Structure 1
Amino acid sequence: MSPMTQQMPHEPPKAMPTEQLINELQSFGVRLADPRNGGISRRGGAGPSDHTPFTIDGSTVMVPVHNAPAFESPYLVERPDAAGRSRISRDGIVLADVSFPLRPKFYELSTADGTPYSKIATLHGRDVLATTVLQTCIRYQSRTKTCQFCAIGQSLAAGRTVERKTPAQLAEVAKAAVELDGVRHMVMTTGTPRTPDRGAAILAESAAAVKAAVELPIQAQCEPPDDFAWFGRMKDAGVDALGMHLEVIGADVRQRIMPGKAQVSIDDYFEAFAAAVPVFGRGQVSTYILAGLGDSPAEILATSQRLIDIGVYPFVVPFVPIAGTPLESHPTPPPSFMHEILHPLADMLQAGGLRASDIKAGCGKCGACSALSTYERRATA
C-alpha cells in the first residue's frame, strides 16, 4: 500500500495501545458530538491548526477536528462535562476516557491597548504557551514559493492574531499564563523576514523580554541564520532550545512542497545543526519532520539517525491537511505508516541518549502533535 493512500482501519478492538490509538486519531481526526465544546481548538496560523487538544491516558495530543478527514472520521468524542471529561468511541464501542483542557484564564485578559491576550499567544497541548512573533513570511507572499502546508496568514486575515507581537506584549502574556494557568514552557516561532538572520533577531529580543518578566523555558524556531553567531546571541538572550525545521527531506519533495524554503539546502541545515548543538547542548536542538508528504519511512529514519548522531532531536509528526491551503485535500498518512517510522525511531532515540522528556522547551518536549513520546516511554519501559 502506498504511504500516500488513506485506508480506513478495520474495526478496532475494545482496547488498544495508547500509541496506536493516538496514531489512529491523528490520521483520521475525530468528530465532535457537540462542535461548540471542542476544547481549545485552533484554525489557521503556524503549528497545529484545525486541531484541539485531548488528554488520553495521561498524554495530551493534538487531534484534527476541523478538517475534511475529521468530518468523516469513524471516531466520535462525546460532549464533555463541566470538568472537560468525555469519552471517545468508534461504532458505539467506547475506547478510552479523554479530557479537554479548560479555557485558559489568561484568555480573559487584554493588554492596556485593548488587545486580547489570546491574540498574542495561545495555549498548545496542556501547558505550552505558543506564539508566532511575526505573522508574515517572505515564503508566504507568493503561492509559487510558499510552503504548501502552511496557514500562517489565515489567522491574521481572520483577525485572530496580530501581525507583530512586541517584546513587552509577549512578556506580559507569558507572566500571566504562568501565574494563572501553570504554563511550563514556551514556543516562539516566526515567519521568515527579509533579513539575513531569518528571524533570529526578533526571537532573541522577544526571549530577553520574557525572561526579564518570568522564569519560563523557551524554545525559539527559525530557519538557519546567515551568521551562526546568532545561536550564541539567542542563547544569551534566554533561548533554552532551538528548532530549525526540515519538514520534508527528499530534494524532489522539498521542491514540490516548499519551493521557497527548498532554496536553503539540506546541507545548509546540517551545517547549522552542527553549529547549534555545541551552543544549546545535545537534545536541545530539534527539527520537525512531516511524514506522509512523499518521503519514505526508510528516508525519514536514515535522516533521523544522522540527526541523532550529531545530537539533534528529530520530531516526526503525521502530516495533517489544513483547510484553505494548497494541500487541504492531501491525505494524512495511515496509522501503519506512522508506526513503521515511530516504533524504530523510539529505539534509535534511546540508543542515542535523546529523550523528549529531557528537552527544556518546545515541540519535542510537548510531543502533542505525534505519538513519538508515547513510543519512547514504551521503549524505555
Structure 2
Amino acid sequence: MWAELKARLLNAGTAYITGVSADEYIARSRAGPGAGKAGSIFFSMDGRRVRLTLSDTGFVEIQHTGNGQALLRYEGEEYSGILEKPGLHCPRQAYLTITGSCIFQCRYCNVWKSPGPRRSIDEIEEMVTSVFPDIDAISLTSGVLTDIHEEERYTLEVVRRLQKFHLPIGVSIYPDPETPRRLKDAGVSEVKFNLETATSQLFSIMCPGLVRDDALTALRAAVPLFGRNHVFSNIILGLGETDEEMTACIEQLCQDGILPVIRPLTPGGDLIDLHAPLPDRIIRIARIHEEMLREYDLDPNAALTMCPSCTGCDLIPGRDT
C-alpha cells in the first residue's frame, strides 16, 4: 500500500496544513526540489516518509492534531501518521547548501533564478551545532559561485571543519575526475554526482554548459574509493525520456556499482509548466529499479547520508517497496 500511496503523493507534490500549528515541523530549502518555495513537510507512516511542498492550492490535506500526530487526506482516503521534525532540510540529517547561487542554468532548477549567498564556514558549523546531536549524518550540496574547482576547494574546507562532529558526511557537487579522491582524503563518507537525465542528449538540452560524462567518470572513479552502496547519482524522471532509456541508464549505473536515485520531476525553473510523472509510471520505474538493484547486489538500506538515506522525495526500492 505504501508504495502506491507514495507514488500518488509524489505526483501531487504539494499539501496544505490544517489543525494545530505545525511550524516546528516545516523545513525550508535553498536547493533541490523545494528551492525558493514556502517550505515542506515530512509525513511518515510506519517508519516510511514522504516530503510534500507546502502550498495553499495543494490537493493533499495534512491535519496536524498536535504533538506531531497527523492525518493525511487525499482522494477521499485518510491515513494516520506523524510529522517528522527536520534537522536541517530533512529528518535526522544536517543537509545544507553551501552556495545558494549558480553560474549554470539547468532548466529544471530554481537556484539560478533565485540566487542566494554563500554560507561562511562559521555559519555552517553553527547550523550543524544547532541540531547536533539529534542527527545521524551531515550532507552537503552546493551551487557554483565562480567555477567548479573553486567550489570544490571551499567544500573541502567545510568538510574539514565538520569532521569535529564525528558523523558520516555526504557531498554532492559538480566534479572533475580527481574530485572523488580529494573528497575521500578529506574524510567524506559518501558522494553523489548527478547525471540528472537518462540520456546525454537530454542532458545537453537541460544543462547547457555542463558535461554529463564528467559526472559519469567521477562516479566510476568513486566506487573503489567509497565502496558499493555509497556512491549515488540522481536521475530525474519525467524530462521526456522513454522507459527504455531510463531502464538503460539505471542498468548502466548499477553495473558500475552506483546507486541510482530516481527523482520524479518537480516542475520548476524553466519547466514550471511540465507535470510530474504519473503514479503508474513512478511505480513501474521503481519496479525496474528494484530488479536492477537485486541483479547487481546493491542495497539502498546501506546508505548513510543524502537522498537515499532520507527517501522523502523518491520512491526508494527496498525502503519504500
| Equivalent position of 2:180 in the other structure | 231
Whether 1:291 aligns to 2:237 is yes
Return the alpha-carbon distance in structure 2 between the equivalents of residues 28 and 199 of structure 1. 34
Q: Percent identity?
A: 23
Contact 2:103 2:144 in 1 (8 A): yes
- Cα deviation per residue 1:53-80 (whole Å; 9 max; x = unaligned)? 11123112212333xxx8252x3222x1
From 57, 79, 83, the counterpart of 1:71: 57
| Equivalent position of 1:12 in the other structure | none
Return the alpha-carbon distance in structure 2 between the equivalents of residues 25 and 342 of structure 1. 15
- Residue 155 of structure 1: how far off its partner (Å): 6.1
From 251, 258, 262, the counterpart of 1:312: 258
Whether 1:303 aligns to 2:249 is yes
- Cα deviation per residue 1:345-373 (whole Å; 9 max; x = unaligned)? 1121122221112123221122211122x
Which entry has the higher C-alpha Rg, 1 or 2? 1
Whether 1:338 aligns to 2:297 is no
Q: Secondary structure at the match of 2:222?
A: helix
| Equivalent position of 1:42 in the other structure | 28
| Equivalent position of 2:43 in the other structure | 54
Cα separation, partners in 2 of 1:286 and 1:102, compared to 1, 3 Å: closer
- Residue 311 of structure 1: how far off its partner (Å): 1.0
Cα separation, partners in 2 of 1:81 and 1:305, compared to 1, 3 Å: same
Amino acid at match of 2:50: V
- Residue 127 of structure 1: how far off its partner (Å): 0.9
Question: When the two structures are superposed, what TM-score results if normalisation uses the length of structure 2?
Answer: 0.89
Q: Secondary structure at the match of 2:65?
A: coil
- Residue 91 of structure 1: how far off its partner (Å): 4.8
- Residue 136 of structure 1: how far off its partner (Å): 1.8
Amino acid at match of 1:177: V
Contact 1:30 1:77 in 2 (8 A): no
Whether 1:362 aligns to 2:296 is no
| Equivalent position of 1:134 in the other structure | 99
Return the alpha-carbon distance in structure 1 between the equivalents of residues 320 and 304 of structure 2. 21
- Cα deviation per residue 1:276-331 (whole Å; 9 max; x = unaligned)? 11111112111001101111222112111111111111000111123xx2212211
| Equivalent position of 2:294 in the other structure | 350
Amino acid at match of 1:86: A
Cα separation, partners in 2 of 1:336 and 1:134, compared to 1, 3 Å: same
| Equivalent position of 2:144 in the other structure | 192
Contact 1:30 1:63 in 2 (8 A): yes
Contact 2:236 2:265 in 1 (8 A): yes
Matches within 5 A, 1:174-323: 174-179=128-133, 182-197=134-149, 199-211=151-163, 213-225=164-176, 228-261=177-210, 264-265=211-212, 267-322=213-268
Return the alpha-carbon distance in structure 2 between the equivalents of residues 175 and 240 of structure 1. 19
Q: Secondary structure at the match of 1:197?
A: helix
Cα separation, partners in 2 of 1:103 and 1:214, compared to 1, 3 Å: closer
- Cα deviation per residue 1:38-58 (whole Å; 9 max; x = unaligned)? 731436x21230432111231
Bigger fraction of residues in strand: 2
The RMSD of aligned alpha carbons is 2.3
Amino acid at match of 1:137: C
Contact 2:178 2:218 in 1 (8 A): no
- Cα deviation per residue 1:234-277 (whole Å; 9 max; x = unaligned)? 1121211111001113233223322233xx13x33322222111
Return the alpha-carbon distance in structure 1 between the equivalents of residues 273 and 216 of structure 2. 32
Whether 1:85 aligns to 2:69 is yes
Contact 2:68 2:84 in 1 (8 A): yes
Question: When the two structures are superposed, what TM-score results if normalisation uses the length of structure 1?
Answer: 0.76
Contact 2:13 2:266 in 1 (8 A): no
Cα separation, partners in 2 of 1:138 and 1:30, compared to 1, 3 Å: closer
Q: Secondary structure at the match of 1:64?
A: strand
Contact 2:65 2:71 in 1 (8 A): no
Count of aligned pairs between the two proteins: 315
Q: Secondary structure at the match of 1:316?
A: strand
Unmatched 5+ stretches in structure 1: 1-16, 105-121, 140-145, 158-162
Q: Secondary structure at the match of 2:196?
A: coil
Q: Secondary structure at the match of 2:149?
A: coil
Unmatched 5+ stretches in structure 2: none
Contact 2:97 2:141 in 1 (8 A): yes
Amino acid at match of 2:57: F
Return the alpha-carbon distance in structure 1 between the equivalents of residues 85 and 220 of structure 2. 40
Return the alpha-carbon distance in structure 2 between the equivalents of residues 153 and 272 of structure 1. 24
